[in-house]
Structure 1
């Protein structure tokens, strides 16, 4: 696995709009030698939704992870730490 942090947690909170959202990204190996990028999101305090993407290499997964991080940061999500 990578030396980089592969479990990231973001939040977007706006009390004036009654908004309290989270977004989690995690890179994990699969049982078949692939790598998966797990995305989970929803309202803070709920289970939310989850989606997984499968890749042949970790480098491909990191490319998508960085793209998602840039997109979420542009929308106002704030990095809160690792999971």
Structure 2
């Protein structure tokens, strides 16, 4: 069983290059209780592609989660910033 939930959604946008990408990571238990890291990526607004990694230990899944996060942050991915109504008023 996982000690805590691991979920992340980050985006990379650049209007000059017509770039609008997302990257999502989640660690969840399988039906057998082992950790599973799911990665999704693609253009914002689409489902994109997905890849699933199965692990015997939660520590290994978390290590890969953090390594992927570090790599994506270095490439310019950032958490989505929400601007609601009345934010500028």
TM-score w.r.t. length of structure 2: 0.85
1:12-51 aligned within 5 A: 12-51=12-51
Deviation at 1:57, TM superposition (A): 1.1
Q: Quick check: 1:2 aligned with 2:7?
A: no
How far apart, CA to CA, are the structure 2 residues paired with 1:24 and 1:42? 9
User: Cα distance, 1:33 vs. partner?
Assistant: 2.2
Partner Cα separation in structure 1 for residue 76 and residue 42 of structure 2: 15
- After TM superposition, the runs of 4+ consecutive aligned structure 1 residues lying more than 6 A away are none
> Following the alignment from structure 2 to structure 1, what is the Cα–Cα distance between the partners of residues 77 and 22?
8
**Which structure has the higher relative contact order (CA within 8 Å, separation 6+)?**
1
Q: CA RMSD in A?
A: 1.3
Give SS of 1:56's match.
Answer: coil
The TM-score normalised by the length of structure 1 is: 0.91
Q: Equivalents in 1 of 2:80, 2:65: separation in Å? A: 16
